[in-house]
Amino acid sequence: MQSSDDDTDQTYGYFDDQNYEYVITTPYTPTPWINYLGSNEFYGIISNTAGGYCFDRDPKFRRLTRYRYNSVPLDSGGRYFYIRDENDFWSATGRPATTQLDQYSCRHGMGYSRFNASKNGIATQVTSFIPLDTKAEIHSLVVTNHTQSTKSIDVFSFIEWCLWNAEDDGANFQRNLSTAEVEIEGSTLYHKTEYRERRNHYGFYSVNRQLDGYDTNRESFLGPYRGFDRPEVVEKGQANNSFARGWSPIASHHLKLELAPGESQSLEFVLGYIEVSVDHKWHSKNVINKQPAKDMLTRFDSHEKVMDELGKLNRYWRTLLCKFSVETPDDKFNRAINIWNQYQNMVTFNLSRSASFYESGIGRGIGFRDSNQDTIGFVHMVPEKVRARILDLSSTQKFDGSAYHQYQPLTKKGNANIGGNFNDDPMWLVLSTTNYIKETGDFSILQEMVIYDGQEQATHDHFDHLLRAFMHVINNLGPHGLPLIGRADWNDCLNLNCFSDDPNESFQTTQVGASDVAESVMIAGQFVLYGQEFVDLCQQVGKIELANRSMKHIEKMRKTIEQHAWDGEWYLRAYDSRGKKIGSHKNSEGKIFIESQGFCAMAGIGLNDGKVEQALRSVDKHLATDFGIMLNQPAYSQYDKYLGEISSYPPGYKENAGIFCHNNPWIIIAETMLGHGEKAFEYYRKITPTYLQNRQTLLKTEPYVYCQMIAGKDAANPGEGKNSWLTGTAAWSYYAATQYILGIRPVYQGLSIAPCVLPSWKLIRVQREFRGAQYSIEIHNPHGLSSGKITLSIDGQPVEGNVISSSSFNGQHTVIATMV
């Protein structure tokens, strides 16, 4: 297999492709390397030492367990299992106990994590996952005695309850230290804080064995002024049977095991969430209705049942991932496309930008911009869920075509605290909708009746929402005829109407004046690109007059860009509130930006007269580094209130000349449009984690998923990553790789095949499910081309053009595409 980088650096871990796992070999990774559990409403974040938390739907308002962000020591709070062997104890997940293990590994897989540890001949395996359609984490612990003598082992579980509202939980101590309530029945420890009043949900933690003790009070378990590394109960080897009344509630089971030589015993722990109707809250006075929890527990009361549920989860993920798979000469490309990129895409669908190691789960909901973009990475896997998500997003749109920047997952209402006026938001709805229809052929989404701004009386079909999104740009143009930027565009930190001198103000929610001067070239390019998609959609549904009217607006914007936004060697980024250019060679700093080059190029503005080619040469000259393409150059060296948050970051970080990976695929796509397969792949490889194993120590973030930002050349540590997992980089990289490098692109008529690849790739095989058919596609490149004309045959019969017509095929088919 061909590869540009090697995997010789296994300081912290390595890929196991056969099992779809990343294997971490030390508890002390540069940052916590996390995984996600759950696939529908109930989710968990779990690190390589079992740190993290779980929640139902909303990580702010329905958080079950407590986690401490930016804590000392790092990654404090999780699902812990302490193993006590005589007077020694250790953690089955590597931490928080600091006892050095004889062996440790964490295997992060698709929706599960497995921890293996051993000490002095006692081995443990913890398998953590959330079963399909279940609001509970399962933690299956197997303890094995590899010694020659009988062993008496004590097992102590531990989780700490969050008092539901995660923001309030960490702030309102005058109340919270007095509200905690629990119940105990058998081997199940119930958390019912605030259940006596306005809540109709509770949590529970159970094990399928009779207890030898328990604790529900944190201080009783840990001891005064102690941390998770050395709980007093574990040290002495006996639970206190504490009962929480206020203070900080926990759930800890104590179990004594007798293990003969070679014997294994399993313990099945269930950490669950129950919601009941108001009429069925109570079993008796002040005693909660436990029956739903008991019903759930019967599903997981044996190791065989638990492993059966894990098998169902594994089959679910394999089924999702096989809807698009590829075999190229490059195993790292295959690994990214077949496993980790698709998996990350699904995680971003589930969580948007709400809960990660870098997102605390209390500050952001489901983003309008973010989630519309994210759909392009997973619509082929879960089209029905994408349809529902698009309509949810549409319902938060305002009547003038603008949108709330975020909505809350519990209520699906727009977040009024954040508001709107991010003027790139509306057109992303056009991208998600047209991309969905091209994938599925389902035009009926356009007829779905959708409310505006959460108001039932303001209801129109979804197509009307797209029209209003299109018209919002037209109705909000600035002095040059370019779109007004509002609070910001895609770059949340380019705040041209903020002018903040107050460090307590939010850059993104502070706006001064009418914002009727500052203009965005990025939105202009976006409008041309997705405006053309809107025109094509109008033509598909027979709205020819509307298509013609809309096309005039697009052509006018194209001319405006060519007249007012071309700077000689690249496209301007914006005009500020004073009408001054941003992203011009005349600026002393911030001369060139990636966003406008990407969008104007993808829109084909200047494609025929060399402007696109020149702009991409400028990107390569001024923005490209060994670690990816920087957002802007030169970096801003001091704060400028007329630019906003972008200039508040130190040079080389985040939006101030960092490598913002999200927009690198825009340049990759643009390079393929010019037929530059080698350059496109060079950029792709620089940010794709499967190629970065030899940078594990430098990168710091998980080496199996994309991160949002890599430090640029001006930073103290260029190449250092931050903000992993929940980033639009995942969807855009997948979109660029599959639809533009491999060139297998859904269109309204079917599947188009137009690859732009490395000349050394002589044969590519793709398995693709599409509109009820299964295609085995072979792309032959006998002449070593990057791109060119395609000759197509299906089941041995020549086909005119390069499009597989979906109306002509169902079932299984063999496709041969030859580059000539």
What is the DSSP secondary structure assignment for residue 653, as one 8-state letter?
Answer: B
**Would you state the torsion angle of the CA atoms of residues 661, 665, 671, 675, taken in this order, to the nearest 10 degrees?**
140
Alpha helices by DSSP H, 542-676: 544-564, 594-602, 611-622, 664-673
Q: Which amino acid type is present at position 325?
A: S
CA–CA gap between residue 553 and residue 467 (Å, rounded):
13
Domains of the chain plus CATH, in order, are: 31-318 (2.70.98.40), 744-819 (2.60.420.10)
**Residue 417 corresponds to which tokens in the numbers above?**
């605290």
- C-alpha distances out from residue 265 to 38, 113, 124, 209, 808, Å: 26, 20, 10, 11, 57
Per-residue pLDDT at 415: 73
Per-residue pLDDT at 809: 86
Residue 363 has pLDDT above 80, yes or no: no
Range name among 121-135, 243-257, 347-361, 587-601 with the lowest pLDDT average: 347-361
Per-residue pLDDT at 408: 79
The values of phi and psi at residue 412, to 5°, are 60, 30
Partners of 672 in beta bridges? none
What is the DSSP secondary structure assignment for residue 694, as one 8-state letter?
Answer: G
Residue range 314-338: mean pLDDT, rounded = 98
Per-residue pLDDT at 453: 84
Interhelix angle 341-351/383-394, rounded to 10 degrees, is 40
Residue range 52-74: mean pLDDT, rounded = 95
CA–CA gap between residue 310 and residue 138 (Å, rounded):
9
- C-alpha distances out from residue 218 to 187, 207, 240, 245, Å: 18, 19, 11, 11
Residues 6+ apart with CB under 8 A from 504: none
Q: Kind of pairing, strands 287-288 and 249-259?
A: unpaired
Per-residue pLDDT at 807: 87
Give the residue numbers annotated as catalytic, written as ranges: 492
Three-state DSSP class for 366? strand
**Residue 747 corresponds to which tokens in the numbers above?**
């269109």
Mean pLDDT, the chain, integer: 95
Range name among 4-8, 27-31, 483-487 with the lowest pLDDT average: 4-8
Residue range 220-225: mean pLDDT, rounded = 97
pLDDT tens string 715-753: 999 999 999 999 999 999 999 999 999 999 999 999 999
Residue 470 has pLDDT above 90, yes or no: yes
Three-state DSSP class for 503? coil
CA–CA gap between residue 144 and residue 264 (Å, rounded):
4
Residue 454 has pLDDT above 60, yes or no: yes
- CB-neighbour burial class of residue 489 (10 A; exposed 0-12, middle 13-18, buried 19+): buried
Asked if residue 535 lies in contact with residue 554, where contact means CB atoms within 8 angstroms, the answer is yes
Q: How confident is the model at residue 4 (pLDDT cuts 50, 70, 90)?
A: very low
Asked if residue 271 lies in contact with residue 150, where contact means CB atoms within 8 angstroms, the answer is no
Per-residue pLDDT at 1: 35
- C-alpha distances out from residue 766 to 338, 689, 738, 777, 810, Å: 10, 21, 10, 5, 17
Per-residue pLDDT at 3: 39
Q: Which amino acid type is present at position 79?
A: R
Closest CA to 562 of 508, 515, 614: 614
3-state percent helix, strand, coil for the chain, nearest multiple of 5: 30, 30, 40
**Residue 118 corresponds to which tokens in the numbers above?**
């051993």
Q: Which amino acid type is present at position 520?
A: S
- C-alpha distances out from residue 182 to 34, 56, 168, 206, 814, Å: 30, 19, 19, 13, 61
To the nearest whole percent, how much of the chain has pLDDT over 70? 99
The values of phi and psi at residue 548, to 5°, are -65, -45
Which residues in 636-675 are b (16+ Cβ under 10 Å) and which e?
beeeeebbbbbbbbbbbbbbbbbbbbbbbbbbbbbbbbbe
Residue 776 has pLDDT above 70, yes or no: yes
pLDDT tens string 372-414: 999 999 999 999 999 999 999 999 999 999 998 888 777 777 7
Residues 6+ apart with CB under 8 A from 290: 183, 185, 188, 190, 204, 283
**Residue 619 corresponds to which tokens in the numbers above?**
């990107």
Three-state DSSP class for 200? coil
CA–CA gap between residue 80 and residue 28 (Å, rounded):
16
Residue range 779-795: mean pLDDT, rounded = 97
Residue 648 has pLDDT above 80, yes or no: yes
Cα 280 to chain center, whole Å? 37
Asked if residue 495 lies in contact with residue 507, where contact means CB atoms within 8 angstroms, the answer is yes
Closest CA to 73 of 177, 262, 208, 229: 229
Residue 2 has pLDDT above 50, yes or no: no
Per-residue pLDDT at 416: 65
**pTM value > 0.85:** yes
Q: How confident is the model at residue 6 (pLDDT cuts 50, 70, 90)?
A: low
Interhelix angle 677-687/664-673, rounded to 10 degrees, is 170
